[in-house]
A and B are shown apart, each in its own frame.
Chain A
Amino acid sequence: MRWILVLALLGCALVARADFDYGLQPRQIADGVWLLEGSTDNFAQNNGGNIVNSGFIVTAQGVLVIDSGPSKRYGEALRRAIATVTDKPVLTLWLTHHHPDHVLGNQAFADVPIAALAATTALLAEQGEAMAENMYRLVGDWMRGTEVVLPTQTLSPGLLDVAGRRLRLLGLRGHTGADLAILDETSGVLFAGDLLFYQRALTTPGTPGLDVWLRDLEQLQALPWKQIVPGHGPVASSAAPFTQMRDYLGWLDSVMREGAAQGAEMSELIGVAIPPRFAAVSLSRYELIRSVSHLYPRYEQAQMERVDR
């Protein structure tokens, strides 16, 4: 009897030991530019949703933060991480888009202006609660206390001077319908948000279409960048992420276009072979299943015609 109690107590102790530490380590990737790189895994209890890249730029007067992460805890950890590398105050938080892994740390930045594209704010107001709820389901207690905080300022595409640092803002649409990309002209670092995934399968809920996304990529690639920070995956200083994205989007498009032309069912398409060249791309099967759900109905309808009489 006693050993069962001991085991039970041990079990409780193990659960209580998890201290929900994201272990955020800011890494300097250019002068004044810092990155917090997440894993390329899916949301899970063991990563607390830290699957995302966030970053910050230290200017002469203070810190510009880009994306707040998946939870209140992450946002707070991000604040502490920033304080380990600079004494300067946080000036503002910019959000690249409204997805939960990029915006649910907003509570930790409630004392500064939070800015996003107007359409991003609208999407977050519409979908935020449901997305947060789903995050609780996926990563559990890491989310404790997390609530949706809407942006307080609106960003417009164009050139912006933040404390003497010139930033170029692009308002694009390919990933969610409202995607902000930020080029720091001083360092040449491009924060591409989730318009770029690298070594991690791209996600498609809310995309206006893969063709739109491909056009956005052209525009991004043409910028005078020196380094690319994708929304998910490792930083790159070559065009490799663009090449992979284009290849992957093209493959996804052809799978669904050819599937629809042959009358394939969704349940069949989610099992198609994934080309070996995408073997290094994390979560490709999982995201194929999601993308077929998001996008295949459009491809199907394009094949069909009115047959009622």
Chain B
Amino acid sequence: MKHLPRTCALTAAAVTMLSLAACSTTDPNASGEGGGGEGDVTTGSGVTDSEITVGMLTDLSGPFAAGAAVQVTQTNAYWDQVNADGGVCDRDVVVDVQDHGYDPQRAVTLYRSMAPDVIALQQVLGGPTSAAVLPLAEQDDVYVGGVGWTGSALQYENNQLPGASYAVEAANAVDYLVDELGVPEGGRIGVVYFAGDYGGDALAGAEHAAEERGVEIVAQEITSQTTDLSAQASALVQADVAGVVLAAAPTQLASLAGVLATQGADIPIVGMNPTFNPSLLGSPVADALLANAYSITSVAPYASDAPGVQAANELYASVAPDGDVGWEVPLAYVQGELLRQALEGACESGELTPEGVVAALQESSSVDTDGLLPDGLDYSQPGQSPTTTVYVSKVDADAEAGLALLEEFSGPSAESFSYGG
């Protein structure tokens, strides 16, 4: 203990220094005008006579690097395909990919340096990183797509959520448990959720649905560090829950399913978007997952036979034949598709500028994506989820990427849920 006080002081100083990063103060509207007007189209940042540049702030060196790499590959392949088909507004689309490493400060710095040279951001991956960038992008009137599904992102009118928000997913999960999986009225449903935006949003949706459907919620808050859910599972069994909604990650799904099985609790577990990973089927708890695990997603699962998903899968297989497959493949494709539609809307209105793209987004009241997302997405209602429909899948060893699509589902509680309502 001889050096302890000095050690702690130095360590604290070091951590503080590491967590500080410089922020650029460049005004994205101050420079970077594109090639000027061409014909009837006014152009702005990120647009020249021959090219449109879109940005992508992703995590190629942090905790989500593997899934992010799949999305970058698919995004580049998507725009190459669009360009081969004639591009957008007679221009090729190029993607400027930058790595924020899941660091919000770095994301802000990268956004500041990137904003003058892009027309829109196709993606800012990650909750904390997108939370840091979204307000700045809103001030600058820059479109931001694909920032996850947290309800807090809906308050920004420049944001395009790819499908239903987590609260809507969780409300649907409760509806599905009651309507299809045998949870009786007056019964109990466990909600195991990550602390923070993601889990908090899911809990809000589940609580709304519980009130609507006359069931009781038994909530268990965890963090991403909680990889052994023995205590939580025991508590849920003790509370005699008839089903579980899980807003966490694959590790937590496997642990919860495994422990519940060993305690003789044969109850369904419905996970949100990111809770399933096909590699779990090689773990010792595969049988428990196959018996009781379901997944509710905003984006159609890899195994869907919808034309959009098939197109996405074929495109990915052509550029990465040995790449990891999963929900990132259709997700990245549909994010490109949503942005392409917004860019074309801006082009048609004669305003191929960041502001024009945001305006095109806000005028979109019925977006279709060939089955990658539910049809009729409505982005004209700021602050609300663009749809109440989700995809319900069951873990299935025979299905591609381990999830077999059961149905598109929109429950009564999801339909009655509204943010701020």
Indicate, yes or no, whether A interacts with B.
no
Give residues in A with beta carbon < 8 Å to B. none
Give residues in B with beta carbon < 8 Å to A. none
